[in-house]
């Protein structure tokens, strides 16, 4: 089965799309129907997105672990001082481990 050709707006040159979108934005502002987020609205939207992604605890655990391993451009972070009487087990990860994907 062959791929469909893009038609209409999707088939236009990127620059042409941008120009049309720009004109629409200007027209909406002139008409008074354009929406501009307030700081409170933006904050609420960001919080909503954070709540949504953090529902997947396994994913959050994987990205947190990967972030710790990749911090400081791959440099090793100093080990925290061990608690008194706590057993120590070094954790080694190979350099070629990929970051988790969602």
* Per-chain mean pLDDT for the chain: 79
User: What would the pLDDT profile of 65-81 be if each residue is shown by its tens digit?
Assistant: 888 777 665 555 556 66
Q: Write down the pTM of the prediction.
A: 0.36
Q: Which residues contact 62 (CB under 8 A, 6 or more apart)?
A: 100
Spatial distance between the Cα atoms of 64 and 45, rounded to a whole number of angstroms = 22
With 70 as the cut, is the pLDDT of residue 95 above it?
Answer: no
């Amino acid at each position: 089965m062959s791929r469909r050709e893009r038609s209409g707006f999707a088939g236009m040159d990127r620059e042409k799309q941008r120009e049309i979108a720009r004109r629409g934005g200007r027209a909406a502002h002139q008409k008074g129907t354009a929406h501009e987020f307030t700081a409170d609205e933006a904050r609420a939207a960001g919080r909503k997105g954070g709540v949504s992604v953090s529902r997947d605890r396994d994913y959050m655990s994987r990205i947190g672990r990967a972030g710790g391993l990749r911090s400081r451009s791959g440099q090793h972070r100093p080990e925290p001082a061990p608690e008194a009487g706590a057993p120590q087990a070094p954790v080694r990860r190979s350099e070629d481990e990929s970051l988790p994907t969602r």
